[in-house]
Each structure stands twice: as structure tokens, then as C-alpha cells.
Amino acid sequence: MAAAPEPSNLFELQKEELYDLNSSKSVEILKDKYGGLEGLAQKLKTSLDDGPPSSEAQDGHADRKTHFGTNTYPQKPPTGFLKLFFEAFKDTTVIILTVGAIVSIGVGIAEAFIGEESDCGDTSFQLISNFSHCGETLYESYNDMVHRYEIIEAEIAHLKELREAFIANNTGVPVPANLTNPNEYSKPGTYIEGIVIVFAVLIVAFVTAGNDYSKERQFRSLNDVKNDIRVKVVRGGDEHQVSTYEIVVGDIVVLESGDKIPADGIFIKGHGLAVDESVMTGEPDAIPKKEKAPFMLSGCQIVEGMGRMIVTTVGEMSEWGKIMKELSDDHDETPLQQKLATLAKNIGKAGFAVALVTLTTLFILWGIGIANKTARNDNIDWACEVQTVVGFFIISVTIVVVAVPEGLPLAVTISLAYSVRKMMKDSNLVRHLVACETMGGATNICSDKTGTLTENRMTVTEGWLAGNFYTSVPSTIKNDVDSKVLDYFINGIAVNSTASIGHDEVTKKPEFVGSKTECALLVLSEKLSYDYKKIRKDAIELQKVPFSSDRKRMSTIVQEGDKYVLYCKGASEMVLGLCNRMVNGAGEIGPLDASTVKELEAHIYRMADSGLRTLCLAYRENDSEDFGDDPESDMICLGIMGIQDPLRPEVPDAVERCKHAGIIVRMVTGDNILTAKSIARECGIFTDGGVAMTGPEFRVLSDEEKDKVLPKLQVLARSTPTDKLILVRRLRFLGEVVAVTGDGTNDAPALKEADVGMSMGISGTEVAKEASDVVIMDDNFSSIVKAVMWGRSVFDNVRRFLQFQLTINIVALAVAFVSALLGQGTPLNAVQLLWVNLIMDALAALALATEPPTADLLERKPYGRKEPLISPLMWRHIIAQAVLQLVAMFFILFGARNISFFIETEQNMNTSVFGPHHSCQTYQYTMVFNTFVFLQLFNEINARRINNEFNIFSGIHKNPFYLGVYAATSLLQALFVQFGGIAVETAPLRWDSWLLCIGIGVIGIPWGLIVRLFPYKRKGDTKAKTNQKKIVPVYEQKGDIESSGHVKSSDGNDDLKKPAKTANGSEAPEVIVESNGTRPPSHGVGEPSTSDGIANLPGGVSE
């Protein structure tokens, strides 16, 4: 391991000293020992205003990282491969199987050392079950078996003599003394099966450990991405957004409500900053940060206000880093994993019952053999009989091993790990695995507008300023407006804002930091030749009035000379309603009369109707800092800006794909209803017959009224986080699977309530991200649609594997049970069954659980909340394939003894250099085994398509995992059969027998096609429906909506219907319906419900 870099001598303080300072939380020590904040900043070679010097950016602040450490946390060491390997042996059935194999080995070795002459080919069980000659049929009765007993015994002795003679005469090698007894040839078989079983168990454990090891590594890398948040810092006088891992000691961090503190630090300045430190101290109340209580702990959330801090300790030297050392990275099981674990347990119980019956049957047959030998006074070789009994237990436990589908949870894990990694490439960071499964069943998506449906690339395009309306901004503003008025306008933009336009530390390219709406106003100020940074730096800021979703505005009080000015901006109708004066271009202040208000509302209406966000800016002057109890009253209206946020070009197609997938898309926005309708109509969400409402209108409806209007509700405008939460709860109550997007701190309850909460990676606060299941890294709606595809793909992949495995379970258990019942023993021995188990669990899970999503996943209805794991269509395919396979297996076992393809001639049996190492029954059972495996391999192709699709080969070339596993399984099977020999009890097959095995396996494909010819329709399934559910809404929609809230009938009559009543008896609020009527500008016009239309201001709604 490379030595850690030596601390730099450039800094006066050591990281241990800073840790002690932070731990002490002593303001006195900060002042006395370090000279207060200014002295501390000097010792750290940073500035409280500008942060570390920009010259350090060239080497990535390497000296600071070397001296103080990096902002990375210690992780629990990953579980080693060997530990995972040994953990695989904790399974009860594997333990029993291993013990049985060891006992078998021990008995065989004991026999060899004792040297007793025994022929374990003549056990009582085998004499009963393996009595027929090659080419002969089964005897009809037990008496026939007894009648031929002597003949069989004589022929066995004759075959042994032939073997000995062949070895002596044809090889020219003298027969060793210990092999002169023909019985000794069978002795290796008494323990070699045990050795092979142990070897097979080791392989299974190795594969299981490999899967677990790979899964843990993938989840660790995903956790690194999940914990990587963007932080706003000041470096070289500019604000930048950097990764939390790039935070260094001396950075000045800018914090707002909803942010997570990325490192330990000391508060510099701020407004109403309060921190939730419950995760560190257990204190439930928010802790205000101020000069007397400045110490801030990493890992805690900002719940109120905004401010700045200087970073003092990072990484493992921080308080959070100390805690992280003790945390584990254990992952909870998802609901689907839990369901499949339960299903696997139930299937295992059925397998245990079959194994018990099989064991009982074998014991009965063995007992009959012992009784017959005793009746004839034959010599009983008890060593061989013990070996036979051990074999019974091994076979029975192996049946349990095969029956227990450990591969089901494994398939989910592989599919989830694969999907989560791929989803990351599609800009979906999965924080909770359950979201992968649930997203596939989503029936409703409640989406934000700004940044999700639109590009969040704000530009001021037109507006009204000081009595003049401009269709192009900035146009001639500087010529038309008095410089003093323009100063007020620009000062309000610069001071009453938290955003900034910075430059990349390395490339120097401009980058917008913070709200894109605020950045659009800052760009406007630069176009008007103002330096907003200088204005902001020189301003004497006294107070910021926090934003709230109820206020829908934000204000800042500053001192300008001997005057005090309050600057306010926010939702147009809100701020305009608080103004009673206006200023004109000449700087004259006059009353804001009704006619002017009507004119301004008309401008707002026109801009909003064309899809622009409108923002009103106002100010108020006072002689003292005290603005009274209502500081935002009696303000002077400066201007109303129209801000364009273009629709993402890919959104209309994505929305249409959701409709084809049976998913209802609703826009939930803080914008006014006219802007929301315009954008929703443009992207295809708002359609003919759809309903658009405002949050206050929706909020007052009774539950019954909500239930009636919800199926048609497409736009919820001017909504608050509370409205969003009410909407989500009601939809879930009605049985819908709801995915909801959010980016504000107050969106956290709705994100938690939703089946899948999706936060925004760019504009979202850390509180929103912590509450969400998925982080949309690019804030793009099309990424949400990709998440739906991956969710459906996970569910389908699990179903594919389930259909494949249950077919094998049914066939393997039925063959084992029937064969044992009929005295045929078990055609598939323990080693062969373990190989089949390996095919089923690890290899098939890897092949079928990694099928990538296809476009046709969005051409059917969502699964919904109550979809069973095994559909009726799956049962149809499982039963059909099981019937085919059982017919084939029983035909080879019981009906093909006179067919040369299935048997070996005695001449071939006696031509081996090593003697008759296989019998006709071994050849026949090898045919059974080989045919069984190839039936599964071809059924694995059938299982790729579980919804009655005819083209089962579609996209097979795009899945290298599948092709690789398929080829490897086929090759290993060939080696297994041809070269397994006595170790796995197989006989090398002739080429014609191979063709027959493969040919029987191929039949599964046309058989599956025949099954698919029978039509199947899911209950309630209607493919590619773009319309939504029909309902009788609470409001009759038979005519034009008038401004009074009454409905004019479509036949033109004036017999107006009375407006509907709410639960409390008041008139129901107006509902906007896409029809010939429009709402007059006096209803619900204005600006979005954010402080400035911004996404990430304190307390902001999800816009």
C-alpha cells in the first residue's frame, strides 16, 4: 500500500486542532486561541468573503487535501470472497447433502481398507429395480422379477469374468492382485459419487459467492453516486457548484433551506438559519445558528433560512465521518424479494414432501429386497447396503435442493443490480431498490413543470416596466426609464436573490448556480450593463423575509444611505395585490388605480397564456429599519417580467408513450393556471375534455368530489406541496400506483407518500432527495419514462425466470417421484440433479434476469398494485411445457426399451478398455438426463417472452449475457455427458442419440408456438389506450364555462344550472375545462407559487 502523503507546511493549523475546536463548540476558544472567524480564515489561508484563492484550482486544491484530508468517509470493508464462499454452506439442505456425501466417502474408504470382498452392484435395492436386459420390457409383476433372479445373478457373474479376461488378454498388462477379484471394480463407485457431490457443492458455493461478491461491489459503487451531492461554494470570489467529495477545509459553503451540511464548519452570516441536528444530537427542535452558536455539524439538514459557513473539518475528521465508521452497508430486501423468498419456501415444502415420499418408497423397495434375500438365505453385504441407504438420503436431499428455488431471490437481485446500473446511465439514480419494482406498475405520474417538462433555461423575453410594455427585453429600456428607477429595478434583482452566475474553475465557462429564474434576471441586469456582484457585495443587508409556499414571494431589506428599502418579488397576482402605487419611466410615483390594475392583469394574462412565467417586482422605502407589522404592504410596483422556459423537445413524445402504456400523466405546478394550461397543452398532457384546476380549488373539494374529478384531472396549477400531498394520498386510496416528482423541501411529505418519489438531481434540495426513491439526475421527464421501462423490465425478468424454473421443478419432482414409486430408482442421480440446480439457479438467473427493456413494454397497461407474480398465462405455459417434458421423459424411461436410439447394445458395453463401466440402464438414464437438460435449454428460449409474443427470438442478439450463458451451458452439458463416466454415472452417447436428445428438446419451441396460438387477454386489458377513464364529473361539462362558475348548456339555452356545492355547502370552485370558453384574466392569473418562480428557494413548492 502506498504511503499516505505528508501534511503540507503551508498551513498554520493541523486537522486535529480543528477537530478539537469543532468538538468543543466553544466560542471563547474560537476567539481567544484563533482570533475569531477572521483569524481562523487567515490561518486557513482563505477569505470569509471570497473563499480560497482561485490559483489553487489549477491543481484541484491538492495542498489542502494533503494537509487536511479529503471529504470522503470510511466505509465498512467489503465482505471477502472466501467469507461469502463459506456462508454459502450455511444452507440446511447443502449441509445435509454435504454430510451425506462425506458419509458415503467414509463408507467407501473403510471398505477399501478393510479389504472385504463385496459386490455393491448386487445390493437388494438394485436387484429389484435394475432387473431388465437391454431391449427387454419391464416385467408385469413382482413374481416375474423373483423368477428371473438366478438368471440375472449368473449373467452378472459372467459379465465380470468377461471383463477380467478382456483386460488380461487385450491390454497385455497383468491384472494387479488387488483387482483379480471382479468385485473390486465396483469399490471406487462406493465413494466416488460422494466425492463428485462434494465437488458439485463446491461449484455451487463458488458461483453463489461470485454472484454475491459482484452484487456487493455494484451496490457500493451505486451508493457512492447516491451520496454524491452538489454543494454551492465560494472560491476566488465566484460561486460554484461542486461535488461534496471535493469540499476542502477553508471553503465558504452557501446553504439554503433543504440543503445537507457537507462538512463540519462555523457559521459566518445568514438570515433565519436553523438546523435539524437530531441525527447527531437527538435534539428534536431546529437549532438557530448565530454568532453565539456558530458550530455546524456535517450530515445535518438546513430547515429554515439561508447562510454561509467556513469549512473546518472534512471526511473522517468530521463528526459525521466518525459515525460513518460504525455504519454498515446492509441492504433490506425489497417486497418482490420477500414475496419470492416466501414462494421459494412454499415450493421447497412441496419438494420436501416429494423427497419424503421418494425416500419412503425407496426404503420399502430396499426392504423388500432384504426380505427376499433373507428368505433365500442369501449372503447380505451390509457395507454395501449401508452405502445404498446413504445413497437414498443423498437422492432425497438432492431432490429438496433442486425443489428449493434459491434462484428466485437471486434472479431479483441480479435483475435489480443489472437494472440499477443501467438506469444510472439513463439518468436515474435509484436510492431504494423497491422503486425499481414499483415503477413498473405505476399508473399515474404527477410531474412538475419547470425543469422536468421544460428545459429550465430561463430567459426574460418581454415585460412591463415603469409604465411601458416591451415585447423584446432589454430593447430600449435604458432610454425609456429614468436611471433612478432602473437602479431600484436592478438592485431588487441583485440583492433579493440567492443565485449567481459563476465560471468553471478550470474551463472558465459560465455556469448558472442556483435558481434558473433568478439567473435569467441576473443575465438581464448584465445586459443592461450592471454588475450585480458589486451591487450585492456593497449592499448592507439587514433582513430577508423567508419564502413560504403560502406567501409565494420573497423579500429583502437593505440600507441605502440614510434610507431603508424593502425589495420584493414573487407571484404576479400576489405581489401586485400588495401594491398601491406604481412608478413611471420618469421616476414619478403615482397611485395604482383600478384601470391600471386591469391593464396589468391583461398583460399578465397575455404572457401567461403564451406559456411565459410572470414575475412581479416591487419595492418600498422607509426612514427606519422597522417596517411595521406588515412590511410588504403599500409597495410600489416596478415591473412585471415574462420569462420563457422552452419545452423540452423530447417531452411530447415521452408523454404520448406514457399514454400508450396506460399511464395517466398529470402536471402539478406552482405556475398560474394559464401558463400551466399552455405548457400542458403543448406537451400533450392537457387534452380535449380534460380538467385543469388550481390548488385552492382542489383543496376545498370533499373526498367524494375529488374522486369524481380525479380521472379527468390533468393540470393542477398554483398548487402547494400540501395540494400535491392531498392529490397523491387520494390517488393511492383509489388503488392507483403513483409516481410523483418534487424538488422543494416541502415536497418531502408527498415524495414519501408516493409509491415512487422522484426528486430532481439538478434543482432538488437535499431534503427532497433524501425523501425520494429515485433521483432524476437530468431533471428530464423522458428519464422518468425510461424508469418506467426498467421497472416493467425487472418485473418481466423475474416472471421469465419464474416460468422457467417452475417448469423444471414440476418435471424433476414428478420424474423422481413416479420413478421411485415404480421401482425404477431415480433416473437423475444426485450429481446430475445438482447440475440441473446450477442451471436453474445461477446460470438461468443470469441469462433471464438481464434481458434489457424493449419499446413494447410501453405498449401495454401497467401491472398495477394487485398483479400476481404468476399470471394465468404463465400457468398455461408452465403446465403445457411440463406436460410435454413429462411425456418425453416417461417415454424414454418406460416406452423406449426396444428402440435402438435409446439403448446400448451389449456388444458395445463389453468393448471398453476399462471393462463394462456402464450398463444399458446407465445409457438409458443418460438419455433421460440429456433430454431433460435440452428440454430446459430450449424452454429457456420460450421463457424469454411471457406475454404470448410469437417472436421468442426477438432481441436475443442484444443480450450477450444470455448468449454466453446459453453457449456455456450447452458446452458443459456435452462434456458432462461424454466424459463424466463413472463420476457422474453417465455413458457417452452415440451421435444418433445426441441428435434425438436435441430433437426432442427442440420440440418445445413449436409446442410453445402452438400454445401461443390460443388468444389471451389480461383482465381489463386494453392495449394502447390514450384516453382516460370515463366518469360523470362533479361538474357538468356540457357547455362553455362562464366566469360566474355556472354552465351554459351546449344547445344555447339560457337555463343555467346551479353551480355544484362543496361538502360544507359553499359554491364549488370553478373548474377549467378545455372547451370553447376561457377564464377571464381576473381569475387565477399571475406568477408561479415560488419566491420568484424558483425551484430551490427555502420552503419552495415543487416548481
Show which residues are catalytic.
Answer: 448
Residues in the chain: 1103
Instruction: Compute CA distances 772 → 442, 723, 732, 776, 941, whole Å.
Output: 15, 18, 17, 10, 37
The number of beta carbons lying within 10 Å of the beta carbon of residue 164 is 17
Beta strands in 383-495 (DSSP E): 428-430, 444-447, 459-465, 468-470
Q: Under a CB-based contact definition with an 8 Å cutoff, are residues 99 and 390 in contact?
A: no
Distance CA 937, CA 932 (A): 9
Q: Report d(CA 43, CA 60) in Å as an integer.
A: 20
Give residue for cell 447527531.
280
Asked if 705 contacts 1063 with a C-beta cutoff of 8 angstroms, the reply is: yes
Element (H, E) at 277: none
Element spanning 99, H or E: helix 92-114
- CA angle at 725 for the pair 790 and 674, rounded to the nearest 5°: 90
The three grid cell numbers given for residue 695, joined into one nine-digit string: 390548488
CB 314 within 8 A of CB 263: yes
User: Would you say 492 and 638 are in contact if contact means Cβ atoms under 8 Å apart?
Assistant: yes
Residue 335 in grid coordinates: 417486497
Residues forming a β-bridge with 1047: 1041, 1057
DSSP letter at 137 equals: P
- Sheet strands (E) in 413-467: 428-430, 444-447, 459-465
Whole-number Cα distances in Å, 179 to 88, 106, 115, 591, 912: 40, 21, 11, 120, 17
Helix ranges restricted to H, 1003-1094:
1004-1013
- CA distance linking residue 718 with residue 723, whole number of Å: 9
C-alpha cell at 164: 477380467
Q: What sign has the CA pseudo-torsion 46, 49, 54, 60? A: positive
> Under the phi-then-psi rule, with left for phi > 0, alpha for psi from -120 to 50, and beta for the rest, what region is 979?
alpha
Numbers of helices and strands, H then E, in the chain? 38, 27
* 8 Å CB contact between 495 and 537: no
What whole-number distance in Å separates Cα of residue 799 and Cα of residue 806? Answer: 10
> Quick one: cell of 768?
427532497
Residues 384 and 190: beta-carbon distance below 8 Å: yes
**E strands present in 588-712:** 589-591, 613-622, 635-644, 664-668, 691-694
Strands 664-668 and 713-717, by their bridges, are parallel
Kindly tell me the burial class for residue 292, based on how many C-beta atoms sit within 10 Å of its own C-beta (0-12, 13-18, 19 or more): exposed
Taking the C-alpha atoms of residue 474 and residue 650, their distance in angstroms, rounded to an integer, is 30
For residue 824, count other CB atoms closer than 10 A to its CB.
19
Backbone angles phi, psi at 543, to 5 degrees: -160, 145
Contact 805, 408 (CB under 8 A): yes
Q: Give the integer Cα–Cα distance in Å for 938 and 1083.
A: 65
Say how far residue 830 (Cα) sits from the centre of its chain.
38
Q: How far apart are CA 672 and CA 670, in angstroms?
A: 7
Instruction: Report how far residue 470's alpha carbon sits from residue 255's, in angstroms, rounded to the nearest whole number.
Output: 36
